[in-house]
């Protein structure tokens, strides 16, 4: 089998790239190791920057998002018993969309099927070859048989543990990493959200976040240790701890309920550089990971795809490699800014026991400065709604 662009991974990055290229007449094949149901079962964040919203519209997959998504013009931050609102509209002239990543993935799956796009599930890529020359190929196993996909380019959208980055010679790539000493224990519940907007809470016992998927589905989080396990937490224990951390006002009106899903996501900052190796390009979690605090994971994947799709379209339409040559540097400039913001918010809001009493006071001073400074709040708002591409 042959195609123009072979895409490894059918998460939002891979499907969005396939959709954008297909609409420009560029052939793609998406290979996904897992089943379709497994991909749709993954629980991920759903805070979408303005630029990503426009990109989903460009790909023709934004209609349901606009009908069902929630526009948020700000967030709230709770610390020292006080609740403060950061108004994105007045500070930075923008907003974000709250719409679950599972729903984004579903919309793109349906769009690919409607346009006759080829997405092969349970196709395990076992080798990424020839990307240092003119004829890359992907060898994969599907239904017990090995196949080969020849292509002009390979897009590695296969996540942090995927084969694409692992196929790069070690001397050709440099990685940067920070592993944080905690995780987020999250509960998904069919309950009314604690507030109309997200609430970020900095508490002496650890961070908490009141988030949502819709007006009837809540996602609630508390900071836990790296050795903790979800099964150690009954629903009642979780809600008792969440109420203590989220602040009295939110706790007083909180609607609790049984967990539909309960899991721990551990926090990590990671960047690989460069993102181009001949005719292999890394995008999304294959290239970078951010802690969830700043809601940048999905949005960074979208910005990577924006740069890569335009570069490939330029190559096929104008026979120019300028965009391909610039891809890695353009992505990394935006990636490092998002990494900085996520790192800053993580340090601002979480408990770091190793920092001691002095570090705790520095956090309080930083939070107090933030909510009293127009400039500081504007910087947060600009980064949260998304820096320009």
Question: Which positions are annotated as active-site residues?
Answer: 72, 200, 292, 296, 384
Peptide bond into 236 cis (omega under 30): no
Question: The dihedral of CA 370, 47, 324, 289: what is its sign?
Answer: positive
- Residue 128 has which token pair? 């990424």
Report the distance separating Cα 267 and Cα 178, nearest Å: 9
The count of C-alpha atoms lying within 13 angstroms of the C-alpha of 154, restricted to the half-sphere facing its C-beta, is 35
H or E stretch including 166?
helix 163-166
Q: How far apart are the first and last CA of the chain?
A: 35
- Residue 90 has which token pair? 């007045």
Alpha carbon separation from 133 to 70, 95, 136, 211, 276 (Å, rounded): 46, 44, 7, 46, 13
Alpha carbon separation from 87 to 122, 377, 386 (Å, rounded): 44, 8, 14
- Residue 129 has which token pair? 């070859």
- Region of 267 please: left (phi>0), alpha (psi -120 to 50) or beta: beta
Residues 327 and 308 sit within 8 Å (Cβ to Cβ): yes
H or E stretch including 316?
helix 297-318
Report the distance separating Cα 261 and Cα 41, nearest Å: 10
90 Cβ contact list (under 8 Å, min separation 6) = none
Alpha carbon separation from 277 to 98, 108, 200 (Å, rounded): 35, 27, 39
Number of neighbours of residue 355 by Cβ within 10 angstroms: 13
Tell me whether strands 123-129 and 208-212 are parallel, antiparallel or unpaired. unpaired
Report CA 267 to chain centroid distance, whole Å.
Answer: 13
């Amino acid at each position: 089998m042959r195609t123009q662009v072979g895409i490894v991974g059918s998460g939002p990055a891979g499907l969005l790239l396939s959709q954008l290229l297909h609409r420009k007449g560029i052939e793609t094949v998406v290979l996904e190791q897992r089943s379709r149901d497994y991909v749709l079962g993954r629980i991920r964040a759903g805070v979408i920057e303005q630029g990503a919203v426009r990109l989903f519209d460009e790909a023709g997959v934004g209609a349901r998002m606009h009908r069902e998504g929630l526009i948020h013009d700000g967030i709230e931050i709770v610390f020292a018993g006080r609740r403060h609102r950061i108004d994105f509209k007045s500070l930075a002239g923008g907003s974000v969309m709250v719409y679950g990543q599972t729903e984004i993935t579903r919309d793109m799956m349906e769009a690919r099927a409607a346009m006759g796009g080829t997405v092969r599930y349970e196709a395990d890529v076992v080798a990424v070859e020839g990307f240092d020359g003119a004829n890359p190929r992907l060898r994969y196993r599907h239904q017990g048989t090995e196949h080969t996909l020849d292509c002009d380019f390979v897009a590695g959208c296969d996540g942090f543990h995927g084969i694409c980055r692992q196929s790069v010679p070690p001397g050709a790539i440099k990685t940067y990493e920070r592993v944080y000493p905690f995780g987020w224990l999250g509960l998904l519940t069919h309950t009314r959200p604690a507030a109309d907007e997200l609430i970020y809470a900095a508490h002496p016992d650890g961070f908490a976040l009141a988030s949502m998927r819709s007006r009837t589905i809540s996602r609630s989080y508390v900071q836990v240790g790296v050795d903790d396990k979800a099964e150690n937490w009954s629903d009642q224990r979780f809600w008792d701890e969440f109420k203590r951390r989220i602040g009295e006002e939110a706790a007083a009106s909180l609607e609790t309920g049984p967990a539909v899903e309960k899991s721990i996501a551990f926090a990590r900052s990671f960047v690989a550089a460069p993102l181009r190796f001949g005719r292999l390009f890394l995008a999304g979690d294959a290239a970078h990971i951010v802690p969830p605090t700043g809601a940048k994971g999905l949005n960074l994947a979208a910005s990577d795809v924006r740069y890569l799709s335009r570069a490939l379209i330029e190559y096929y339409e104008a026979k120019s490699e300028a965009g391909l040559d610039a891809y890695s540097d353009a992505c990394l400039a935006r990636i490092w800014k998002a990494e900085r913001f996520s790192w800053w918010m993580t340090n601002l809001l979480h408990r770091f026991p190793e920092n001691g009493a002095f570090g705790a006071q520095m956090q309080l001073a930083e939070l107090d400065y933030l909510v009293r400074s127009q400039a500081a709040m504007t910087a947060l708002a600009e980064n949260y709604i998304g820096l320009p591409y």
